[in-house]
Amino acid sequence: MKMIKYTGVIKNKSEGIYREENGQIILGVSHLIFISNAGYRLTELKIYADEMIDCWEMVTFEEFKNKVHSGWVVSELPEVAEISVFPLGNFTATNIKNLVKPEELIKEVADIIEELNDRPTTSDICQKAYEEYQKEPNEANKQKLKEAYEAIPEHNRVYVLGDMNQKDNPIRSAIYSK
């Protein structure tokens, strides 16, 4: 659990999400999701460094996973969905293209917690595995790279190398080409 005394500058955390507990500031970030409650409510999921998550109630990471599996926290909408964006209004959404599967949302939240605690994310681990594979392109390093790459949330894989021109093609070529 990372407890930080707030000094006025939060490195790479411009959202300014935090909560105070026992006189300590606990940093967090916000992430848009839907809560399924008489329709779908677009809201902020607040993820904190101490692995607590606010999804209309404060829960642990394990409880958050249960909220996703139960359908309370939603990343995929049905073909037609009633959406509320309080206080702006309500609308019916159709022709929906879902981008984040529930399990991938859980993986992304886990990565956010790692990042908040200055620990390696799945992308960091994959980048290191890719560097090792480039130095020694053997089967063992290829397998480590494949496992590291597939651990990254699917919707975040394209950005793993930080190059929008090449995207993740060098990694995909290394692990999936024959």
Taking a C-beta distance cutoff of 8 angstroms, is the pair 28, 50 a contact?
Answer: no
> Which carries the bigger pLDDT value, residue 104 or residue 16?
104
Q: Report the pLDDT value the prediction gives residue 147, as an integer from 0 to 100.
A: 97
Average predicted confidence (pLDDT) for the chain:
89
Q: Is the dihedral angle over the CA atoms 115, 17, 155, 77 positive or is it negative?
A: positive
Asked whether the predicted pLDDT for residue 126 surpasses 80, the reply is yes
Confidence label for 59 from pLDDT (cuts 50, 70 and 90):
very high
- The residue-averaged pLDDT of 103-124 equals 96
Taking a C-beta distance cutoff of 8 angstroms, is the pair 151, 142 a contact?
Answer: no
Asked whether the predicted pLDDT for residue 13 surpasses 70, the reply is no
Task: State the Cα–Cα distance between residues 13 and 11, nearest whole angstrom.
Answer: 5
* Percent of the chain's residues with pLDDT above 90: 75
Phi and psi based region of residue 44 (left: phi greater than 0; alpha: psi -120 to 50; beta: remaining): beta
Asked whether the predicted pLDDT for residue 42 surpasses 70, the reply is yes
Read off φ and ψ for residue 90, nearest 5 degrees.
Answer: -125, 155
Taking a C-beta distance cutoff of 8 angstroms, is the pair 28, 116 a contact?
Answer: yes
